[in-house]
Structure 1
Amino acid sequence: MDATALRTLPALHRLLERPEGVALLRQHPRAAVVDALRAELAVLRRQLLPFDPAPFFATAAAGLAAAARPGLRQVINATGVVLHTNLGRAPLPQAAREAVAAEAAGYCNLELDLETGRRGHRHAACAALLTELTGAEAALVVNNGAAAMLLALSALAAGGEAVVSRGELVEIGGGFRIPDVIRQGGARLVEVGATNRTRLADYEAAIGPETRLLLRVHQSNFLQLGFTAMVEPGALATLAKARGLLSVVDLGSGALVDLSAYGLPAEPTMGQAVAQGFDLVVASGDKLLGGPQAGLLLGRAEVVAQLAAHPLMRALRCDKLTLAALEATLRLYRDPTRLLQAVPTLAMLAATPAGIGDRAARLLALLPDGTGEIIEGTSLVGGGSLPGAELPTRLIALQGPAEALARRLRLGRPAVMGRIAQDRLLLDLRTVAEAELPALAEALRAAA
């Protein structure tokens, strides 16, 4: 195509008047269509290509459709990782989803006391449930677990020292480390003990005039095995009280019930930490609790009051949708007999290999013969919770090139995430809800 022919390219306004252009204008904002057509014309000029209506408008339409898709999309989690951080961790209970929809539809009494007509506290409902369920005197909610720890250190230890065992200086997701959070909170870190063994005498020797609190960080995202020793939690809380200091424990995963009742490894609960005498307990809402992303702070009333009055509190507070979802989730814990039916996270963790295998067989029955086979495997808890716990499961091993099939499933509608092992794409239905099976079957047929 020579320079003379370039001048024969249609003008932009002519493209908009063509049937193809009119169709695009019906589906997308005019400014977006203009930009897309202009970009395609620029490609033709740059590459000295002739104008061909069919591929020209098809390319523009594909680009407009891609730009119109939401950034956050539904994903069917067939990885078997229950608390998958990249996929949003805990799926919300039905009651929490309904609560979010109800509050999102209009106004609510977020900071209004309906009885008095005066300003109220946005945390009141969640705080009341947390104190009821754990025995704490008071509670507070912020936007995530790291924010909860930052607020605690800023309000209680700024300008002083926080004493922590070397074996508890953990790194959480995204490269954030406990020492960094302590420094950001304005406190000075005092490390005690050795990486694998810390004794009560180590804490006693580290206490000085600048000490503000003794911090216990539960090792929720890794295991220490072998020649190890840790101070019993209650003993640490007792030492702090005897020396006029505060004791704070970061539980991380935020369990409210004894998970051993469901055949899982025991995990310290928030209620147990309160009973052990800690002044403040810090935990997450979107891990073993099974609720939305939130940071939970509960303990003695005067300590929680200090946090509520700190300037950071306004920057770290939750919005109405998070509080609605958290309140609805906490209400479910009032009836422990129905938790497995009501809280998806707990149901997934407690699912048996036989039950998962039955679901896998039902899925394969919806697919052509030879799609895959059921094999034994393990699931993971994920989200930095119950490290080392491998849950026996049943997997569907799909036939075909694993990488190519995985990519087609990721790009489908809905997107599907599995995991690849030994050059096979594996689907673990522990993390797939019964209601998702038809959509998963359709996605597999389309990808194949």
Structure 2
Amino acid sequence: MKDLFRKIKKVDKLLQLKEFEGIREIYSDSYLMDSIKLGISITRKKITEGQLTDEASIDSSIISNTFKLITLEQKPKLQKVLNCTGTVLHTNLGRAILSKKAKENLYLLADQYSNLELNLDTGKRGSRYDHITDLLKKLTGCEDALVVNNNAAAVLLILTALSKGKESIVSRGELVEIGGSFRIPNVMDFGGAILKEVGTTNKTHLFDYEDAINKNTALMVKVHNSNYTINGFTKTITAEELVPLSKKKRVPIYYDLGSGALFDFTAYGINEPTVKQLITSGVDILSFSGDKLLGGPQGGIIVGKKKLIDIIKKNQFLRAVRVDKLTLSALEGTLLEYLDMEKVRIDNPTINMLTISLEELKEKALLLSQMFKQEAIVFSIKKINSLSGGGSLPDKMFPSYSLVLADSEGISIPKIVDKLRFNTIPIIVRVKDNQLIMDLRTIKDEDFKMLVAEFSRIYHGEKL
């Protein structure tokens, strides 16, 4: 064993081997030498454990170890996956995927300087928010707009700026918790707002709000049930119903819309108020997410009355949650497509997946099933229900079609699922009753060939 250890070359000598010639054009010698040291450590361990006993194999072992380490280290941890779950806004999988226009805008600015805070008309410093303000004014009917890094930040910023040290009235039925233990009461407390609870969990009346208003009332807050439902013996007051009281008492309405839709989904059986409808109804300030029903990048979009937006813009907390140029560029691209409401249903992937017809999904299922049959893999086609996901449309089930593979002799569904997840491009599926399920709603047509090829390789490898 000691003789084998003595045969291990010095790092600088190993670096001169012809096997490293190509990679030295990509990485610096110092980086490669550090990697080789780690490669040597693995080889030494193999010698100690008796796994390597041949002197002639020492160099090749170190070389192999080094290349594997570099490949693993250089591989991005954040990577593309195939979403075969049918959940359109899957939080674990990054929620909304960007449209073509959003990607073009993003690529255009990613490696270039930009006029982020330069007014090209005057040559003086401008505001980063100006780039999307006019678009949001046109699409929502608001007087002014602002964007921060997510809707949670938007909620906290609004409460801090407009209700610090003052009361905000919220129905007990809307004191919700969303992902990551983000609770409305805690957020209000953190922002310095005084929570004034009204009504009960299942019933809140208009008089509950009116009775709670006093000289220290700053806001009446509505929290949209974007990730929960309360059914049965219930009553809630809509934002529209609050507007007359708001005007009478001169207390503004803030609506935490959460998901936030600019597209009217009514024709597709989805009862979700649009931002424009709420602004038109008289809501004073409203916030929503960019990466949910809007189908854009993560962001907290604030729209409403200019006098309230101006107060928010002056709050020091805005600097801590301001949005960057890449998010703004992707958001602008997303919003530009909304100028043509008929075409955005096709161009925006989120809207397209939520409104695709059952007939189209069936055609996709038949095509993909046939492609699998050509690889000697037989799936059954079954109807299934998809979900919007991402804390959106909690009570809406979307009829869909899926390909289903059952456990059988020589095939282990759990093993296949694991191997799909560890694939070079991970393939994420659903599993129920020991059946592998792929919902066609979230599978892109352009990914069919790759999906079939990768799945086939894993499937037939498992059978062997």
TM-score by length of 2: 0.91
Distance in 2 between the 1:137 and 1:21 partners? 62
> Aligned residue for 2:38?
39
Residue identity matched to 2:415: A
* Deviations 1:377-428, CA, capped at 9 Å, x for gaps: 1111001000021111111113532222122222223222111111122111
> Aligned residue for 1:323?
328
CA contact (8 A) 1:24 1:61 kept: no
* Deviations 1:195-245, CA, capped at 9 Å, x for gaps: 111112222222233221111001110111111110132222332332232
Helix, strand or coil for the counterpart of 2:342?
A: helix
Distance in 2 between the 1:333 and 1:45 partners? 61
Identical-pair percentage: 39
> Aligned residue for 1:360?
365
The range that moved more, 248-257 or 175-184, is: 175-184
> Aligned residue for 1:215?
221
Residue identity matched to 2:379: G
* Deviations 1:98-143, CA, capped at 9 Å, x for gaps: 1111122422222222222222222123111111112111111111
Alignment of 1:283 with 2:291, yes or no, is no
> Cα–Cα, structure 1 residues 172 and 247, in superposed 2: closer, same or farther, change >3 Å?
same
> Aligned residue for 1:404?
415
> Aligned residue for 2:393?
386
Map 1:259-298 → 2, pairs under 5 A: 259-263=265-269, 265-298=270-303
Alignment of 1:87 with 2:93, yes or no, is yes
> Cα–Cα, structure 1 residues 7 and 354, in superposed 2: closer, same or farther, change >3 Å?
same
Helix, strand or coil for the counterpart of 1:92?
A: coil
> Aligned residue for 2:402?
395
The range that moved more, 234-243 or 124-133, is: 234-243
> Cα–Cα, structure 1 residues 46 and 339, in superposed 2: closer, same or farther, change >3 Å?
closer
Distance in 2 between the 1:59 and 1:6 partners? 16
Alignment of 1:443 with 2:454, yes or no, is yes
Helix, strand or coil for the counterpart of 2:383?
A: strand
The range that moved more, 400-409 or 338-347, is: 400-409
CA contact (8 A) 1:127 1:141 kept: no
* Deviations 1:15-50, CA, capped at 9 Å, x for gaps: 323344445545544334323332243345456244
Which 5+ residue runs of structure 1 have no aligned equivalent? none
Alignment of 1:434 with 2:445, yes or no, is yes
Distance in 2 between the 1:372 and 1:357 partners? 14
Helix, strand or coil for the counterpart of 1:120?
A: coil
Helix, strand or coil for the counterpart of 1:113?
A: coil
Alignment of 1:413 with 2:424, yes or no, is yes
TM-score by length of 1: 0.94
The range that moved more, 410-419 or 153-162, is: 410-419
How far 1:253 moved relative to its partner? 0.7
CA contact (8 A) 1:256 1:271 kept: yes
Residue identity matched to 1:435: E
> Cα–Cα, structure 1 residues 327 and 26, in superposed 2: closer, same or farther, change >3 Å?
closer
Distance in 2 between the 1:6 and 1:404 partners? 39
Which 5+ residue runs of structure 2 have no aligned equivalent? 460-464
Residue identity matched to 2:405: L
Distance in 2 between the 1:226 and 1:81 partners? 27
> Aligned residue for 1:18?
17
The range that moved more, 405-414 or 279-288, is: 405-414
> Cα–Cα, structure 1 residues 131 and 23, in superposed 2: closer, same or farther, change >3 Å?
closer
Distance in 2 between the 1:303 and 1:29 partners? 54
Alignment of 1:376 with 2:383, yes or no, is yes
CA contact (8 A) 1:28 1:64 kept: no
Aligned match of 1:423 in 426, 434, 439?
A: 434
CA contact (8 A) 1:213 1:240 kept: no
> Cα–Cα, structure 1 residues 420 and 30, in superposed 2: closer, same or farther, change >3 Å?
farther
